[in-house]
């Protein structure tokens, strides 16, 4: 069985999950490959998309098409609110369907494909191929947004898009929705969700009304994300031994990651705990956004930057006393899983797929979404009750070993692939 995974780039939570699935399939004897557009690292069996250079007429046609696509999106440049995830179009100049790996594949598994796949071209030329869509976010069943926030217009065909700052019922989001609707029609598509939450959202979209949707949780490399000796890794990372370390890691420029609520909660916490007792350790891109948001407002910061090494990331989680995930929407929560696997107590908002991992009082703490006061209270409780927090962390590690250990995700997908091919 030849499985081809298609994804835009090789970074971020969606790629980590796709790579884990790919490696799990390989371990189970399947011929699995990853085709990507943007390449930031060299992983085994992953190939960067690179067709032969087109002729002069095709190059002119591509440039004109790119200009048209950019012009349509540029119309919303001044109206689109800041701090949002990517809004992805469905039109590109990349003819992915012509790639030899696409032609050879028995099953094509689509992951995060925004700005990579030209939907009309790709789905027209893969009509004879069974396709699996993995929902790392919502973009495959909306009019372009990765997460819809409070907007439910994806349930009725989009338009008047708040993420475009639009009041037009026939705006770009509506156009993209219609293109997807036409592209998906009469196709053998099966949808896989990493959480019950995003499955419930997907079922409400007209785009997926005729497709079977199944939840298959991500897995975790519990042999990599392990609990290290705290004193040792703190020395290794240059972190102080005598402070309570609160850890947070995300793309701070995206409002959905909840930085503002973390800052507010830490400011409230500072009224009860002296600033010299606590250190906020962080990892991820856009450090300048973080410093601007938290500068002189709460506790000292130790920024560790963007971390590529999973082994190093495991040590960072182990060095912390508490990991906070204040996301407002999350398909499942890769960082939450990683922290739990490392035996670090986790607190987060009761939203998205996070409650499917954090069982309040057993594997961590959940608080009301957007409630900074309750988040501060929860962090304070974890600081004041280290033994109870440690027990929750042990339970969290056990949960990862029992229900999310690698390659359990691959085994679930193999059943789906086999069922598709049988039919």
Look at the alpha carbons of 137, 139, 145, 149 in this order and tell me if their dihedral is positive or negative.
negative
pLDDT at 315: 98
Provide the domain limits for residue 274. 230-403
Q: In this structure, what token pair is assigned to residue 345?
A: 């107590």
List, for residues 3-35, the tens digit of each pLDDT value.
999 999 888 889 999 999 999 999 999 999 999
Q: Does the residue 32 lie in any domain?
A: yes
Q: Does the residue 417 lie in any domain?
A: yes
> Does one domain contain both 137 and 97?
yes
Segments of the chain scoring below 70 in pLDDT? 42-44, 51-52
Q: What CATH number does the domain containing 80 carry?
A: 3.40.50
Task: State the number of CA atoms in the 13 A half-sphere of 130 facing the CB.
Answer: 18
Q: Does the residue 224 lie in any domain?
A: no
- List 247's β-bridge partners, or say none: 281, 323
> Does one domain contain both 326 and 410?
no
pLDDT at 121: 95
Q: What CATH number does the domain containing 249 carry?
A: 3.40.50.2000
> Does one domain contain both 74 and 202?
yes
Please work out, in degrees rounded to the nearest 5, the angle formed at the alpha carbon of residue 101 by the alpha carbons of 98 and 102: 55
> Does one domain contain both 236 and 215?
no
> Does one domain contain both 158 and 301?
no
pLDDT at 44: 63
Indicate the number of domains in the chain.
2
> Does one domain contain both 92 and 62?
yes
> Does one domain contain both 383 and 274?
yes
Q: Does the residue 181 lie in any domain?
A: yes
> Does one domain contain both 150 and 256?
no
> Does one domain contain both 179 and 264?
no
Residue 366 main-chain phi, psi, to 5 deg: -115, 140
- List 131's β-bridge partners, or say none: 108, 189
pLDDT at 52: 67
């Amino acid at each position: 069985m030849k499985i081809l995974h298609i994804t835009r780039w090789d970074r971020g939570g969606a790629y980590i999950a796709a790579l884990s699935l790919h490696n799990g399939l390989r371990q189970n004897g399947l011929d699995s490959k990853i085709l990507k557009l943007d390449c930031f690292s060299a992983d085994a069996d992953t190939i960067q998309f690179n067709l032969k250079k087109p002729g002069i007429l095709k190059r002119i046609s591509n440039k004109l098409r790119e200009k048209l696509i950019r012009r349509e999106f540029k119309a919303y440049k001044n109206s689109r609110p800041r701090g949002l995830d990517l809004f992805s179009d469905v039109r590109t100049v990349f003819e992915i369907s012509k790639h030899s790996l696409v032609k050879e594949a028995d099953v094509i598994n689509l992951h995060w494909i925004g700005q990579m796949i030209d939907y009309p071209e790709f789905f027209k030329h893969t009509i004879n191929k069974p396709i699996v869509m993995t929902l790392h976010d919502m973009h495959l069943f909306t009019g372009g947004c990765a997460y819809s926030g409070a907007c439910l217009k994806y349930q009725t065909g989009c338009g008047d898009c708040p993420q475009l700052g639009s009041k037009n019922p026939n705006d770009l989001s509506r156009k993209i929705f219609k293109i997807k609707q036409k592209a998906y029609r009469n196709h053998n598509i099966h949808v896989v969700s990493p959480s019950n939450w995003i499955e419930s959202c997907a079922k409400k979209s007209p785009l997926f009304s005729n497709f079977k949707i199944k939840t298959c949780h991500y897995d975790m490399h519990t042999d990599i994300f392990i609990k290290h000796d705290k004193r040792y890794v703190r020395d290794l990372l240059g972190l102080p031994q005598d402070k309570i370390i609160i850890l947070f890691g995300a793309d701070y420029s995206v409002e959905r990651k909840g930085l503002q609520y973390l800052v507010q909660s830490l400011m409230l916490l500072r009224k009860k705990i002296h600033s010299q007792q606590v250190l906020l350790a962080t990892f991820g891109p856009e450090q300048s956004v973080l410093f601007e948001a938290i500068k002189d407002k709460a506790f000292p910061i130790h920024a560790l930057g963007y971390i590529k090494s999973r082994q190093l990331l495991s040590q960072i989680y182990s060095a912390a006393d508490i990991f906070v995930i204040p996301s407002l929407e999350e398909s499942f929560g890769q960082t939450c899983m990683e922290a739990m696997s490392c035996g670090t107590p986790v607190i987060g908002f009761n939203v998205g797929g996070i409650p499917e991992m954090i069982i309040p009082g057993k594997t961590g703490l959940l608080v009301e979404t957007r409630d900074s006061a309750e988040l501060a209270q929860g962090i304070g409780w974890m600081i004041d009750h280290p033994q109870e927090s440690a027990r929750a962390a042990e339970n969290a590690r056990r949960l990862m070993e029992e229900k999310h250990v690698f390659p359990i995700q691959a085994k679930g997908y193999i059943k789906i692939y086999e069922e598709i091919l049988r039919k």
